[in-house]
Structure 1
Amino acid sequence: MTWVFPALGVLVAVLTSISRGSARRYLYASGLGLLVLFFAFPFSSALGYLSREAVHPTPAGLLPSYPWLGLIALAGLAALAPWPRRLHGWVGALAGLVVLVLIYGWLARPVFLARVVPLPGVMEGAIALGLAGLAALAARGRGRVVSLLIALLVGGGSYALLAGPAGHTYFPRLEGYYKLLTPVPETETRALIERYNAGLEKANALRAEIGLKKLEPVGSLADLQGGLPKDLAREGVRLVRPASLRYGTLAALFLAGLMLASGFFLARKPELAEEGDLTGGLVAAGVFAVLVPSFYATEFSLTRLVKGWPFFVNFLDRAWPPRLADPAHNVFPLQEVASQMALTVEIALVGTFLAMLFAVPTSFLAARNLTRGSGLTRAVFTLMRAFYNVDRGVDTLILALVFVAAVGLGPFAGVLAMAIHSIADLGKLYSEAIENVEKGPIEALEAVGASGTGVVRWAILPQVLPLFVAYTLYRFEINFRVSIVLGFVGAGGIGFFIQNAMASGMYDQMIIGIIAIVLVVNLIDFGSSWLRSKLV
């Protein structure tokens, strides 16, 4: 099924051509994507004795074992070169075809032994370069020399920390993280196979004692089942299986198909190009380079979803029809849902109200246009904005866990967590509303000698009060949804009811809570939207 991925790349190029989009942009994107993939994406698996000893090298890491993989990087560079449009298209199409042939040639290779050679400092340097780039972007506008100095300081300091003893203490996996795989000579491979066969008698005796299946002698590496023997793995030897697909292999197939088709359409229709294609290609490649590892890290799998479908069917069978009441067993789920739903709304109301009480006064201290007068007010502004940023960085769920441990299970912990987190969100919105008020009324009052409180009362509050109310209503909507989740960690409300019902297997009671949530969420959304439309 590997053909699906280049086919998807071709499909993207075809749809772009039909819509008269820029084929050159995707040619640039595929070239940049292949360069990132060459150095950063795992391409195959190399097994050790234990599963945690497996290595997943990049194409660059496999160069000593299969130098032809270097053509992936060359193809990416060729797609980025400033060729004339028609020639650019043919070069891109040829480069995409070469990458496809190269990948399928790699996948067809037999298994082989390779020795792991760690490259110290490579990963540390890559992280330092990334941080230096971010620092340079953040320092833009301060002058080229200042931006460069900041980037050098951040990059150099990061590398010194990460590559030093402290960095290897706190981040031990960084040391030698990037690895090359050098091939083991054929004579050594044969010697390793003979040594493996010679030790089978002892290994099988141990396996027989614990009831494991007897191992048979092997004639080649392909006969090895699972990983390598322990002694070989400890020597840094790994069994490379080129046919073992990693997400880097699949991404390379997609990009090769995209490059081939985009190049073909650009060669046939040179007008399929626009200004800013290189920038657009850079953005597309960046998004691709972030999304692909993210899908892998989250274990996204449609196959697992299909396999889990019987559970959904079983859940619906057990959940429907809902059991609204069972007087014979003194069970009244509908009444419990109504009570817990009311408690959930009350948690959101109290949490939002408390947050508003603290956010309104602090928002004036966090408004830039009101704190320019002196060094003290500027310091207060900086402290308030720092407090908002720190508070917003700590999720409500984490705060709820802390408060559940401090004050015990129940809605009080949820109210405290919600109020503290919402102060920062509301305060930031309020302060931005204050910063965007019209200056005319303020200047008029200041001209007649009005005090600071008078300016706030008569010039600022009338402008921002409708926005304050609208933002508070919007925050209440969010807090209601959050309060449902807080119930799962013991903060009370409908979430707590659903968790208990699910843990007890009472799906016909749990479904009542789910239906109630859907109804109340829609009612709150519609009501809040209507009120906001009247205020703003």
Structure 2
Amino acid sequence: MTATIDTAADAGAEPDARSPRRLPVPRDAKAPMRATSWTVGILILVALHWIAFESTDFRLDSLVSGAQGMGRFIAEAFPPDLSPEVLSDGIQGVLQTLWVGLLGTTVSVPFALLLAVFGARTTAPNAFVYQVARAILSFFRAVPDIVFALIFVTAVGLGPFAGVLALICHNTGVMGKLWSEAMEEVDPGPEQALGTAGANRFQVVANATIPTVLPQLTGLLLYRFDVNVRSSLVLGLVGAGGIGLLINKSIKTFQFDQMLTYLIMVLILIVVVDLASAWIRKRLQ
């Protein structure tokens, strides 16, 4: 009798609430559409690359067939010319390249900072000023630094001054855009607190926005300095001074051993700049 009652009780007992229940898996209605979008996107990407390969005459067989010419070019560059005259000219060119990159970065800071403040939605006084600042930044960023260098060479003549001016213009556009985006992502809390306390827009920017985002601005500045040192090398090829001018001259006169010496100096310069930038970033963290 007892066994019968227990069995009946077990049969009528409710399932344990802690036992797992199988729930129906919801069907993703957008899965087919998403798969179709991915397929179409991949096909478009493949088609664009095919067109690009055909338009640029991308042929690996041409590279293989020209390997002998490259080998002869490299063979003529070894050993590098380490004569005192070449080393002296190279050191002067490297230092000049460094100074062009340094001035092109630092002198553009006030212009980039001003345009960044006016070009950020969170700090611009109004929509008109925001659009004007964005247009100026877009123009300076869109024109390559080498084009600016060609323009300034016609104005001030050959030499590093044209390279400095070119980097100032281009770096103002690039760095201003990066800084404005950093300012737009800043925590609005300190800005709202100062605004509530009666601070004007200038006081809010100077005492809340810039101090909050200063480490990020500094990191972007060091990055742009690294890039500008490399850019100043290219600007030398169009007459803007620096070691790029010496490299161009050695190539035109078929003095490839001197070219290799200058390239080794450029490599040393880039490594030193990278190490210095990394050291400064570490100190600022």
* Other-structure match for 2:225: 476
* Other-structure match for 1:385: 134
SS in 2 for 1:369: coil
Deviations 1:363-390 (A, max 9, x none): 111110123x6xxx21011001011112
Contact 2:121 2:184 (8 Å CA) reproduced: yes
The whole-number CA distance in structure 2 between the counterparts of 1:428 and 1:336 is 37
The whole-number CA distance in structure 1 between the counterparts of 2:181 and 2:269 is 30
Candidates 149, 164, 177, aligned match of 1:400: 149
The whole-number CA distance in structure 1 between the counterparts of 2:112 and 2:195 is 26
Using a 3 Å threshold, how does the CA distance of structure 1 residues 317 and 289 change in structure 2: closer, same or farther? Answer: same
- The residue type equivalent to 2:55 in the other structure is A
Candidates 88, 96, 108, aligned match of 1:335: 88
* Other-structure match for 1:445: 194
Deviations 1:330-389 (A, max 9, x none): xx1111111100000000011111211211122111110123x6xxx2101100101111
Aligned residues: 255
The whole-number CA distance in structure 2 between the counterparts of 1:526 and 1:299 is 39
* Other-structure match for 2:77: 319
| Aligned residue runs from structure 1 range 359-374, under 5 A | 359-371=112-124
* Other-structure match for 2:210: 461
| Aligned residue runs from structure 1 range 37-436, under 5 A | 276-325=34-83, 332-371=85-124, 377-436=126-185
The whole-number CA distance in structure 1 between the counterparts of 2:253 and 2:166 is 27
- The residue type equivalent to 2:249 in the other structure is N
- The residue type equivalent to 2:72 in the other structure is N
**Displacement of 1:275 after TM fit?**
7.3
- The residue type equivalent to 2:242 in the other structure is G
| Runs of 5+ unmatched residues, structure 1 | 1-272, 327-331
Residue 511 in structure 1 maps to residue 269 in structure 2 = no
- The residue type equivalent to 1:276 in the other structure is R
Q: Which range moved further: 405-414 or 457-466?
A: 457-466
**Displacement of 1:457 after TM fit?**
2.3
Deviations 1:419-476 (A, max 9, x none): 0011011111111111111111112222222233322222112112212211111101
SS in 1 for 2:107: helix
The whole-number CA distance in structure 2 between the counterparts of 1:354 and 1:483 is 15
The whole-number CA distance in structure 2 between the counterparts of 1:517 and 1:274 is 54
The whole-number CA distance in structure 2 between the counterparts of 1:407 and 1:457 is 36
Structure with more of its chain in helix, by fraction? 2
* Other-structure match for 2:236: 487
Deviations 1:276-329 (A, max 9, x none): 321111111111111111111111111111121112221222111111116xxx
The whole-number CA distance in structure 2 between the counterparts of 1:391 and 1:398 is 11
Contact 2:236 2:242 (8 Å CA) reproduced: yes
RMSD: 1.7
TM-score (normalised: structure 1): 0.46
* Other-structure match for 1:253: none
- The residue type equivalent to 1:322 in the other structure is P
The whole-number CA distance in structure 2 between the counterparts of 1:288 and 1:434 is 37
